Structure 1
Amino acid sequence: MADESTTATPDETTETPLGAASGADSGADSGTGSGAEAETYSPQVDVASLQAFLDGRYADVRDLVRGNLVSHADVLVDAEAMSRDDFRDQVRDVVVDLASTGQTGLGLPEAYGGGGDVGASVAAFETLAFGDLSVLTKVGVQFGLFGGAILQLGTEKHHERWMADIVAGRLLGSFAMTERGHGSDVAAVETVARFDPETDEFVVTTPNDAARKDYIGNAARHGELAVVFAQLEVAGERHGVHAVVVPLRVDGELAPGVRIEDSGDKLGLHGVDNGQIWFDDVRVPRENLLDRFASVSADGVYSSPIESRGRRFFTMLGTLVQGRVSVGGAGINAAKVALTIAIRYADRRRQFDSPREGEEQLLLDYGMHQRRLLPLLARTYALHFAQEVLVDDLHRVFSADPDHPDAGGLARQLLESRAAGTKALGTWHATRTIQECREACGGAGYMSRNRFAALKADTDVFTTFEGDNHVLLQLVAKGLLTDYSSEFEEMDQFGMVRFVAGLAVETVLEKTNVHKLLERIKDVLPGGSSDEWDQEAGLLDPNYQLAMLRFREEHMIGGVARRIQGRVRNGEHPGEVLSRVQDHVMATARAHVERLVLEAFVDKLATMPEGDDKVALNLLCDLHALSTIEADRAWFMEHGRLTVQRSKAITAEVNALCRKVRPIAVDLVDAFGVPKEVLRAEELIG
């Protein structure tokens, strides 16, 4: 194989000196100095203290998982050395062993051996992403999806029957939602669960090949039960999608009427036994219906406390939001692994002549290498804090008393929207970051022993796990444009178009908090409420950075509303309208989530005690904010919020911030706390 280790050019991009380029927009705004002083100033990071700050309230949980990762570090080697079936069995054994430590059942009820803490459960799952991702996925299927569905959709009789065995890892199961012909469109699944009053059973049937359950984890080899999502039919009437527990195996053999085939080789996650399932009139007791939101009596009467079929469906799916939160967090943590390897490598690998005669220069000293890795590091920190906000929201909503306002529909809808958006940005960030880090390590990064092969292959599916990211961003946009109106849960995308078309644009904007936030923040900027606020504020003023992202979001919301209204009033069908504005819808949702991410970073910094660690994170926050603005500079210039001169000043400031972060970059990745034993990559990081 040709040597691919040449990863940097000895020629840096020509830059205007910081002081000359930025003037009043220099580092003085963040308290880090300006000009030559700013170029030489470097905070001293306390790695242990910063790790504790990042670990937060669940530091003990994260340390438990780190210890377990070290104990099972050999599984990373087994993934390459074992046959597929042997490795799948090895992953199962690791998962069962992890269950014995208590880390996998933290989100399940204490009464059955769990921890009863949803936030702790997500923290454990995120941290598990430092290690083998087949183990992570198997844990997610078993305890998050399968166990979570029985917990959230079932009632006490189901919990008493199965939960203790699930928590202990004695009963392995599957979450059978996705069908061949209906990926993200869960409401349209075709599997049928028909009630037979003569036998007091449900008959579960796969009516055609498009209705087979596809890519189901734990199905091909280990699953004994499955939570199956099917159209519930009682006395000839369909009541929409409900969940029924169906046996897959009895004493190790396929249950009567169940057919399972292995899904075959995958791009990654070779330790997970994905399978496709057909049900040939499989009979299960009526009690196997998970009946928290709907039940069927022995005499065949269907009832539900939620009258609306659409609201009942979305309420059911809303209880499963923890999986989406967990996958997003796992993606962010996988990016931390890649950055830890790449930045540590760049701090020890020398290449080409350095300013010191006879000595080659470290990769991380090159401006281009800093540009490749350090904005990704800053974004990883930003997403970490955004994920922390999301997990706090999840814990609050799921821990709330049913009569508490936080348990209500709006709180859940806001949670679902934030979870969808954070998952999309977090998993896309993982894909981008892992690829960039692989390239930054040259040919050595291509060797499987250095982790990148597994990281790339195993995280690739995260962008479609728990919902395709593009579909998730459309969910975010629907909430923005409709303000989670009372019809929100029953509103499909066409309904959203009709809803927005019936409002004035000013009404759409007035319904958004962004409109009010932007007006408030202008009051604290140098330009006040004038149109010059964005030209007069310092580049490193967080109020300016937030105002820019809020302006973009508000403008995009208004723009999408105008496009929808104009096309509907011209007589276009809602489906055609949606297709024509879909790119604007996606951009609006992304802008909204990027604003939330930056707000989370700024708010977190406000809670941090003064000191060098805070100075370091201020540098990262500035780097993240200005990199985000720079990445969309064309939009800001098109809409009059960046002049050419100021755009150039932002680029110069990003370069300067990279130089300031460079001396502490290794400390910043060490604070992630990725155990060296799971990094592997000995030839890269020593």
Structure 2
Amino acid sequence: MTTTGAGDAVLAASLQKVLDGTWADAREFTREAMTPDMLNPIGLGMEEHRDHVLAQLQRLADSGMPKLGFREEDGGTGDTGGALTSFEMLGHLDLSLMVKAGVQWGLFGGAIANLGDSETRKKYLPDVMSLDLLGCFAMTEVGGGSDVQNLETTATFDRETGEFVVNTPTPSAEKAYIGNAARDGRMAAVFAQLITTADDGGELRHGVHCLLVPIRDEAGNDLPGVRTSDHGPKGGLAGVDNGKIWFDDVRVPREALLDRFGAVDADGEYSSPIDSVGARFFTMLGTLIRGRVSVGAAAGASARTALALAVRYSLVRRQFDHPETGKGIPLLEYREHQRRLMPRVARAYAFACAQNAIILELDEFEKNPEAFDEVRRREMETHAAGIKASVTAFANDTIIEARLACGGAGYMAENLLTEMRKDCDVFSTFEGDNVVLTQLVGKELLSSYAADFGDMDQRETVAFALSTAVDVVQEKARASTLWQKLVDAVTDREHTDLLDRGNQLQLLVDREEHLLETVARRLRKAQGQDGSAAFKVFNSAQDHLLQAGRAHMDSWVFARFAEAVEACEDPEAREVLGMLCDLYVLDIVDGDKGWFLEHNRLTTERTKAATAARNRLCTKLAGRARTLVDAFAIPEFVFSVPMLTDGGVDAITDEPSDEHEVVGLAD
């Protein structure tokens, strides 16, 4: 029996075609640009690491990759999907490089591209793309955190001079954790409360807006009124210079305001195409979801790399002798090792297909926004939030499990997994805290319009939820032809096989609907109560709201995966993808079988059957594990790590084969 098979190259290529998706060319372009020196460097000091990442960022700029994400009229190529896919691919190598690129081109450049007028874009974006102008995205404040709508930094218009005066009014208003702020950034896209003066001299507040504020001169010195500091060593992302920024009466011209959704004329009069402060705020944030999508995508790439390392290691690392052959047993032949890795491989495939779907949707939106009504746009933004939360949580869990699956070798920095774990950690909190984002998904399920909640207090939220919660799930589901086709296929929900796709869908949708109805019932208690009492009721239902959000994302990801399976033209690849899709669902059911039992969705016998089917699929798919991870198409130099190349593992000299046997295949 051999365990070193290089995998089935033909099958891997067919699976890769599915995973690469619409922007396969962009993936290949980025793969060709990837070189070993782009890998996360081990053992560098903080400043050396920052220098290394900045040099690699310049290489990316010189390659032309940043142009993908900007409009043709702004000097780019107008390929949003290609840009997001290229950012995703960087997650295979060094998350510091991905984050540095994301700050520069996705956040700072994206703010200018999506919120600025044509003159502002023409003035700054060529230098942003070339790295002649490095910038920051100064949104987060140390006091407010996720409560961006109520941040404290102010930008007050001075009628006498025609300038905005930017201030940090309190210690809690300092801009914190800002990428490029500690060292490299020369300008910041600053989010602040916009204030103008009324005719009677009073203040008129117009909500959060974004302004371009220079923070350093070309020599790297802070400009007058600006103070920056370095956060220093962090728990990861050592190549990114995160820092703090304070403003003390910093004056910028009126043209510094990125005025797509709110402008101030020379007389100090404010105007906006959107009257509501809350609606304006959410509309503005909605144009900046590229960063959120990129973070989820790169985290998914990092998880796939961790799985590929762990699977390869499990095929060459032997532990204990087989009682019949006397040879060491490869780790992946052990049932528990299969259960550790194979469900996560299935989820990696599911999330990759879902990520491709949200990128396709965002690309279509940016090319043809008129095709998106308010409902569709809000759904896209909500799923972007949900997929970010789901994938980054999955990535952190998977990288840790991959590290553990490699034992002591996995703990060595030279084998990459511990560095990946440190770097991916913060992905669960930046670009939106995962708890907050999952709650946003739950609110969308209740209201159909996340923006409606933005303008509501807790009492109004409760009342609105009660009037809209009942049919939201099924209405959204029916938008998918495949979804309805699967539901129609269910003839006997009590006895249909757990591997029947329609029954799998029904299990997930039933759970989602029940959780949503539970939230609505709990919120009903707040009807007629004042704001404080309504908040208590809303707060007490938060765990159910989060459960509903997670359940919805499970259903949505499943639907995107099932669509990808159905669209696959290669019969063998479609069969393997079908098994992975089955394992994805069975892993959800097995992990939440208490809920399915408590709510009479499954009997004890059927939950036992689900666990047994999960185990059988783990064993069957383990026989093709190398092929499954080869389909991730990660550059081979990533695997030139000691635990796979030299004395870190047992030397295996058997001739390679396409597949390997696994213990328990007939169980």
8 Å contact kept, 2:447–2:469: no
Cα distance in 2 for partners of 1:57, 1:622 equals 24
Q: Deviations over 1:451-490 (max 9, x none)?
A: 0111000000000111000000111111100122883553
Alignment of 1:549 onto 2:515 = no
Give the aligned residue type for 1:152.
N
* CA shift for structure 1 position 498: 3.1
Cα distance in 2 for partners of 1:143, 1:414 equals 25
115 and 64 in structure 1: CA distance in 2 versus 1, 3 angstrom threshold = same
Aligned to 1:240: 207
Cα distance in 1 for partners of 2:459, 2:233 equals 37
Aligned to 2:335: 367
Cα distance in 2 for partners of 1:241, 1:614 equals 48
Unaligned runs of 5+ in 2: 1-6, 198-202, 647-667
Of 105-114 and 440-449, deviating more is: 105-114
8 Å contact kept, 2:278–2:451: no
Of 517-526 and 253-262, deviating more is: 517-526
Cα distance in 2 for partners of 1:519, 1:635 equals 25
Aligned partner of 2:560 among 600, 609, 615: 600
Aligned partner of 2:371 among 376, 381, 405: 405
Give the aligned residue type for 1:176.
A
Aligned to 1:8: none
Aligned partner of 2:497 among 523, 529, 538: 538
Aligned to 1:151: 113
Aligned to 1:487: 452
Give the aligned residue type for 1:270.
A
Q: Deviations over 1:16-74 (max 9, x none)?
A: xxxxxxxxxxxxxxxxxxxxxxxxxx99862223223321221221122112222xx22
8 Å contact kept, 1:244–1:288: yes
370 and 272 in structure 1: CA distance in 2 versus 1, 3 angstrom threshold = same
8 Å contact kept, 1:509–1:558: no
Cα distance in 2 for partners of 1:353, 1:326 equals 45
447 and 160 in structure 1: CA distance in 2 versus 1, 3 angstrom threshold = same
* CA shift for structure 1 position 134: 0.7
Cα distance in 1 for partners of 2:276, 2:270 equals 13
8 Å contact kept, 1:332–1:427: yes
The aligned runs of 1:168-567 (5 Å cut-off) are 168-235=130-197, 236-252=203-219, 253-401=221-369, 404-406=370-372, 408-484=373-449, 487-491=452-456, 495-501=460-466, 503=467, 506=470, 513=477, 523-527=488-492, 533=493, 535-567=494-526
SS state at 1:80 partner: coil
RMSD, matched Cα? 2.1
Cα distance in 2 for partners of 1:259, 1:161 equals 25
8 Å contact kept, 2:462–2:526: no
Aligned to 1:74: 37
Of 174-183 and 98-107, deviating more is: 98-107
- With normalisation by structure 2, the TM-score equals 0.91
* CA shift for structure 1 position 681: 2.2
Cα distance in 1 for partners of 2:225, 2:479 equals 57
Q: Deviations over 1:59-99 (max 9, x none)?
A: 221122112222xx22436x334321122122111101111
Q: Deviations over 1:632-664 (max 9, x none)?
A: 111011111111111111111111111110111
Cα distance in 1 for partners of 2:487, 2:424 equals 41
8 Å contact kept, 2:428–2:434: yes
8 Å contact kept, 1:514–1:554: no
Identity of aligned residues (%): 46
Cα distance in 2 for partners of 1:304, 1:515 equals 33
* CA shift for structure 1 position 519: 8.5
Cα distance in 1 for partners of 2:416, 2:8 equals 31
476 and 221 in structure 1: CA distance in 2 versus 1, 3 angstrom threshold = same
* CA shift for structure 1 position 610: 4.0
8 Å contact kept, 2:100–2:179: yes
143 and 515 in structure 1: CA distance in 2 versus 1, 3 angstrom threshold = closer
43 and 80 in structure 1: CA distance in 2 versus 1, 3 angstrom threshold = closer
Give the aligned residue type for 1:498.
A
Aligned partner of 1:664 among 624, 646, 662: 624
Aligned to 1:7: none
Give the aligned residue type for 2:184.
H
Aligned to 2:573: 613
Q: Deviations over 1:156-206 (max 9, x none)?
A: 011111011111111100000000111111111111101111111101000
485 and 417 in structure 1: CA distance in 2 versus 1, 3 angstrom threshold = closer
Cα distance in 2 for partners of 1:128, 1:172 equals 19
The aligned runs of 1:72-151 (5 Å cut-off) are 73-76=36-39, 79-151=41-113
Aligned to 2:533: 573
Cα distance in 2 for partners of 1:109, 1:434 equals 36
* CA shift for structure 1 position 251: 2.0
8 Å contact kept, 1:564–1:577: yes
Give the aligned residue type for 2:172.
A
SS state at 1:104 partner: helix
Cα distance in 1 for partners of 2:518, 2:289 equals 30
Cα distance in 1 for partners of 2:256, 2:407 equals 54
Q: Deviations over 1:517-548 (max 9, x none)?
A: 99975542232xxxxx1x21111111111110
Of 672-681 and 119-128, deviating more is: 672-681
Q: Deviations over 1:299-325 (max 9, x none)?
A: 111111111111111111100011111
SS state at 1:207 partner: coil
Of 292-301 and 562-571, deviating more is: 562-571
SS state at 1:67 partner: helix
Alignment of 1:629 onto 2:589 = yes
SS state at 2:576 partner: helix
* CA shift for structure 1 position 397: 1.1
Aligned to 1:584: 544
Cα distance in 2 for partners of 1:547, 1:638 equals 17
Give the aligned residue type for 1:648.
K
- With normalisation by structure 1, the TM-score equals 0.89
494 and 102 in structure 1: CA distance in 2 versus 1, 3 angstrom threshold = farther
Of 367-376 and 410-419, deviating more is: 410-419
Of 437-446 and 674-683, deviating more is: 674-683
Cα distance in 2 for partners of 1:50, 1:492 equals 48
Give the aligned residue type for 1:370.
Q
Aligned to 2:28: 63
8 Å contact kept, 1:353–1:360: yes
493 and 679 in structure 1: CA distance in 2 versus 1, 3 angstrom threshold = farther
Cα distance in 1 for partners of 2:97, 2:73 equals 26
* CA shift for structure 1 position 623: 0.8
Give the aligned residue type for 1:552.
R
Give the aligned residue type for 1:294.
G
508 and 660 in structure 1: CA distance in 2 versus 1, 3 angstrom threshold = closer
